[in-house]
Amino acid sequence: MAPNSVKVGNAEVLFFNDCVNDIDVTKFIPGVPAKFWADYPDQVRPNGMLVKPINVAVFAVITPKHTVLVDSGIGPVPFEQFPHLKGNMLGKMKRAGIQPEDVDTVFASHAHFDHIGWHTVLRDGTLTRTFPRAKYLIPKLDWDAIYDPQKFIHARKPKDTFQPAVDVLLWSKPLLDRVVAFGNYDLTEDEQDITPELKVMATPGHTPGHQSLLLNSRGERMFFMGDAIHLPIQFDHPLELGAADVHQRESAKTRAKAVKWIEKEKVIAASPHFPDPFGHIVRVQGRRYWQVLK
Ligand SMILES: [Zn+2]
């Protein structure tokens, strides 16, 4: 069984799954002929559904001076468009010994609803910040895109904008409005240092401002990929366009670059959606596999 926590230098990374969701790969990556998936019976069923459902997960990075949450999951309230999904990661976090007030930074890889759902919570009938002491970090370009989509999505990349995915991104506006209302937030840009050990790496395309994070502690590294790569089956054909991506071609280029980099650097990667969150990319007989951390 894969671990729920990993030591990276002086840091500890804990994984908390908020909920799981079934995915139909033929809809998620629609350009791939169905027969292609027959080569991946360990991952895709003949009907196109994933063998294991995806996670919607959160990571806590504990360094000597900081407790950083990487994404906050789907949240406690079923989202209007996905009423069957409801998160339970907060209870798991508390049971692992992390209280909401221990968290000093909440980083969002991007502004999708399934990554910022626990930013706020209803407590005794009153809406409040879930992590009262934390600075909330949102990618600047996602912020710009949500508050002025005409200017930042359509005008910037008119030929590489997939409207259904824009619509999904805009579902997040009410969630962000709450973050604004409570204050203590900041907007993040490429190469920004979040803590001495955590640096932003822009991985745009899934959303305009999508960001990954690189943890580096005493020479040991972990790459929080966010949704730059959604599923291990994308390793071998990263350039296939994804139906969840706002800028599909840009996302495909980002994915191909990220896959190559993770493989070359032999870095441990962490995914909020892979069924097994921690692993490496390894190559066996020319094909790339997700080798789960043991
Ligand atoms: Zn996601």
The domains of the chain, with CATH numbers, are 5-292 (3.60.15.10)
pLDDT of residue 168: 94
pLDDT digits (tens, 9 = 90+) for 129-155: 999 999 999 999 999 999 999 999 988
- Please give the distance, rounded to the nearest whole angstrom, from the Cα atom of residue 73 to the centre of ligand 1: 8
Question: How many Cβ atoms sit within 10 Å of the Cβ of residue 155?
Answer: 11
pLDDT band at 161 (very low <50, low <70, confident <90, very high): very high
- Please give the distance, rounded to the nearest whole angstrom, from the Cα atom of residue 234 to the centre of ligand 1: 15
- Please give the distance, rounded to the nearest whole angstrom, from the Cα atom of residue 168 to the centre of ligand 1: 11
pLDDT digits (tens, 9 = 90+) for 226-252: 999 999 999 988 999 999 999 999 999
At 241, the amino acid letter reads L
Tokens 């790459």, residue located: 223
pLDDT of residue 1: 59
pLDDT band at 82 (very low <50, low <70, confident <90, very high): confident
- Please give the distance, rounded to the nearest whole angstrom, from the Cα atom of residue 56 to the centre of ligand 1: 7
pLDDT band at 97 (very low <50, low <70, confident <90, very high): very high
- Please give the distance, rounded to the nearest whole angstrom, from the Cα atom of residue 285 to the centre of ligand 1: 30
pLDDT of residue 268: 97
- Please give the distance, rounded to the nearest whole angstrom, from the Cα atom of residue 283 to the centre of ligand 1: 26
Q: CA–CA separation, 138 vs 53, rounded Å?
A: 27
Q: Note the maximum CA span of the chain.
A: 57
pLDDT band at 71 (very low <50, low <70, confident <90, very high): very high
- Please give the distance, rounded to the nearest whole angstrom, from the Cα atom of residue 115 to the centre of ligand 1: 6
Q: Which pair of structure tokens corresponds to residue 74?
A: 């789907």
Mean pLDDT for 97-116 is 97
- Please give the distance, rounded to the nearest whole angstrom, from the Cα atom of residue 39 to the centre of ligand 1: 25
Asked whether 138 and 185 are in contact (CB, 8 A), the reply is yes
- Please give the distance, rounded to the nearest whole angstrom, from the Cα atom of residue 36 to the centre of ligand 1: 24
Radius of gyration of the chain (CA): 18
- Please give the distance, rounded to the nearest whole angstrom, from the Cα atom of residue 248 to the centre of ligand 1: 15
- Please give the distance, rounded to the nearest whole angstrom, from the Cα atom of residue 258 to the centre of ligand 1: 16
Phi, psi values for residue 271, rounded to 5°: -125, 135
- Please give the distance, rounded to the nearest whole angstrom, from the Cα atom of residue 110 to the centre of ligand 1: 8
- Please give the distance, rounded to the nearest whole angstrom, from the Cα atom of residue 7 to the centre of ligand 1: 24
pLDDT band at 282 (very low <50, low <70, confident <90, very high): very high
Torsion of CA 255, 257, 263, 269, to 10 degrees: -50
Mean pLDDT for 9-17 is 98
pLDDT of residue 227: 98
Residue ranges with CB less than 5 Å from ion ligand 1: 114, 227
